Amino acid sequence: MERDYCTMDDFELDGKTVLLRAEFNSPIGPDGKILDDKRIRESAPTIKELEDSKVVILAHQSRPGKKDFTTMEEHARLLQRYIKQNVRYVDDIFGSHAKTAIVEAEAGEVVMLENVRFYSEEVLELAPHEAAKAIMVKKLAPFAQVFLNDAFGASHRSQCSLVGFTPVLPSGAGRLMQKEIDSLTEALKGGGEVVYVLGGAKVDDSISVIRNVLEKKIATRVLVTGVVASVFLAARGLDIGKPNMGFLDKSGLSGEIPRAKELLRQFGEMIAMPCDVAVNKDGKRVEVNVKQLPTDYLISDIGHETIASFSDIIRHADKVILNGPAGIFESQEFATGTRDILMAATKARFSVVGGGHSAAAVEEMGIGDKITHLSTGGGAAIDFLGGKPMPAIEALKAAKKRMMGPVGVI
């Protein structure tokens, strides 16, 4: 398969020092323990494949000001369990302590550097040529022969650890990044019945995806659920009730109604909305046909008629791409729509589930092996599907062009 970026197959990595940007950002509990280590597990194959290299890992956890903004010590401990290699955690990013650890490490060993967002320049969005001038890059690049980016979940960012090394080191994608790009690129190809199912509360991003896949004739059908559906029902002229409009107003989402209305004007028949919803009446699930709206209760899931209709469309699709839950799936009363739609997706010929809440639901249900691709990127996956620029991926593409040079070969 011809790619416009380099992969691990394009380099001789044995015996080399490889600087690996990983995406280990994970939910952390009050006790400091990682609650879900999926991202660490997903990058383990890349690191295990580098068992004859010296691997230096750059990663982040949360951002300044957040309660879960902490060190990478726990991440290093979990990584060692999965790769069964020695992982040395260093509480330094590019100072003398970090540099000494890199020099002293041998092939087959892994050095986990400190949370890169402890470094103030890392939170800036910079073009690659500007990021290459950052102190982090200048200090670490001389110690490595190759830079690999495996951090798909952060690929919509343009920070120095993601794009700064690509102008100064031979650069390529790790196995997880490669898998993400390949699978989401396949999702953006037309052919057959291609169904997009968009829910959750990221309405602005979902609307961008809908516009992208319908204008480019990628999707044959778009199904809307969750808060996205509430916005589209309101755009269709339905009164969804004061609690629901109040939620949209409070969340700053009512401004998306005109955008949804324009999409319905352009692509009305291709966008399917719920015919019934489940509302939360004193903690109980009550089903309401949309013709019976408005309601005095919060819409918290799609109804059973919609679940049956949407599930039938999904299971017969050639491709289904799903991002965002259909309701408040954390509550047993309102998890039905999310669960049934995900089960239907396992019957499609090709299925992609975006990161975030949808991926968490798949993991909880234990059906990950029945989904073609379960993305590790929430915001990154939806930006990719929405046709937005992905700075870290574009940086890898530019690096390949530079490496090929005038003769067109690496």
Report yes or no on 1 lying in a domain: no
Token representation of residue 244:
């629901």
Region 119-146 average pLDDT: 96
pLDDT at residue 32, as a whole number: 84
| Same domain as 145, residue 34 | yes
pLDDT in tens, 340-388: 999 999 999 999 998 678 888 898 899 999 999 999 988 899 899 998 9
* Residue 155 annotated as binding site: no
What residues have CB less than 8 Å from 218, skipping those under 6 apart?
Answer: 188, 189, 190, 194, 212
Region 158-176 average pLDDT: 98
* Residue 355 annotated as binding site: yes
Report yes or no on 332 lying in a domain: yes
* Residue 357 annotated as binding site: yes
What confidence tier does 403 reach under pLDDT thresholds 50, 70, 90?
A: confident
* Residue 60 annotated as binding site: yes
| Same domain as 359, residue 215 | yes
Report the distance separating Cα 236 and Cα 312, nearest Å.
24
> What amino acid occupies position 222?
V
Of 191 and 143, the structure prediction assigns the larger pLDDT to: 143
* Residue 108 annotated as binding site: no
| Same domain as 235, residue 223 | yes
* Residue 402 annotated as binding site: no
What confidence tier does 233 reach under pLDDT thresholds 50, 70, 90?
A: very high
What confidence tier does 406 reach under pLDDT thresholds 50, 70, 90?
A: low
Report the distance separating Cα 21 and Cα 166, nearest Å.
11
DSSP string, 326-386: SS-TTSGGG-HHHHHHHHHHTTSSEEEE-STHHHHHHHHHT-GGGSSEE-S-SHHHHHHHT
> Under a CB-based contact definition with an 8 Å cutoff, are residues 376 and 23 in contact?
yes
Tell if the pTM clears 0.85, that is, is over it: yes
Report yes or no on 99 lying in a domain: yes
| Same domain as 289, residue 165 | no
* Residue 405 annotated as binding site: no
Mean confidence (pLDDT) of the chain: 94
Report the distance separating Cα 271 and Cα 86, nearest Å.
51
Distances, alpha carbon 354 to alpha carbons 77, 136, 187, 382, in Å: 27, 31, 11, 7
| Same domain as 110, residue 152 | yes
> Under a CB-based contact definition with an 8 Å cutoff, are residues 146 and 171 in contact?
yes
The share of the chain scoring above pLDDT 90, in percent, equals: 89
| Same domain as 160, residue 54 | yes
What confidence tier does 408 reach under pLDDT thresholds 50, 70, 90?
A: very low
10 Å Cβ neighbour count for 206? 30
Region 304-321 average pLDDT: 97
The share of the chain scoring above pLDDT 70, in percent, equals: 98
> Under a CB-based contact definition with an 8 Å cutoff, are residues 323 and 381 in contact?
yes
According to DSSP, residue 53 is labeled: S
Based on the structure, what is the number of domains in the chain? Answer: 2
DSSP string, 287-316: EEEGGG---SSEEEEE-HHHHHHHHHHHHT
pLDDT at residue 357, as a whole number: 82
pLDDT in tens, 68-81: 999 999 999 999 99
Report yes or no on 160 lying in a domain: yes
Using DSSP's 3-state secondary structure scheme, residue 18 falls into: strand
* Residue 366 annotated as binding site: no
Of 31 and 23, the structure prediction assigns the larger pLDDT to: 23
Report yes or no on 75 lying in a domain: yes
What residues have CB less than 8 Å from 78, skipping those under 6 apart?
Answer: 34, 37, 40
* Residue 330 annotated as binding site: yes
pLDDT at residue 359, as a whole number: 86
| Same domain as 93, residue 223 | no
Report yes or no on 256 lying in a domain: yes
Token representation of residue 350:
């090709």
Range of the domain at 50: 8-180+389-404
Best CA proximity match to 310, nearest among 236, 368, 232, 225:
225
Report yes or no on 162 lying in a domain: yes
Q: Is 404 a residue whose pLDDT tops 90?
A: no
| Same domain as 278, residue 216 | yes
- Say which range, 30-39, 354-363, 366-375, 393-402, has the weakest mean pLDDT: 354-363
What confidence tier does 277 reach under pLDDT thresholds 50, 70, 90?
A: very high
What residues have CB less than 8 Å from 209, skipping those under 6 apart?
Answer: 196, 198, 323, 382, 385, 386
Kindly report whether the peptide bond that precedes residue 294 is cis, defined as omega within 30 degrees of 0. yes
pLDDT in tens, 5-26: 999 999 999 999 999 999 999 9
* Residue 53 annotated as binding site: no
Best mean pLDDT range from 28-42, 106-120, 344-358, 366-380: 106-120
Report yes or no on 357 lying in a domain: yes
| Same domain as 176, residue 201 | no
Report residue 288: phi and psi, to 5°: -135, 125
Q: Is 275 a residue whose pLDDT tops 60?
A: yes
* Residue 39 annotated as binding site: yes
Of 348 and 405, the structure prediction assigns the larger pLDDT to: 348
DSSP string, 216-284: TT--SEEEE-HHHHHHHHHHTT----HHHHHHHHHTT-GGGHHHHHHHHHHHGGGEE--SEEEEEETTE
Region 102-121 average pLDDT: 96
Report the distance separating Cα 167 and Cα 394, nearest Å.
12
| Same domain as 222, residue 156 | no
Report the distance separating Cα 105 and Cα 107, nearest Å.
7
What pairing do the DSSP bridges indicate for beta strands 284-289 and 221-224? unpaired
pLDDT at residue 175, as a whole number: 98
| Same domain as 174, residue 203 | no
What residues have CB less than 8 Å from 83, skipping those under 6 apart?
Answer: 44, 47, 48, 110
| Same domain as 125, residue 98 | yes
CATH number at residue 40: 3.40.50.1260
E strands present in 79-166: 87-89, 110-112, 146-149
Q: Is 297 a residue whose pLDDT tops 90?
A: yes
* Residue 211 annotated as binding site: no
pLDDT at residue 272, as a whole number: 98
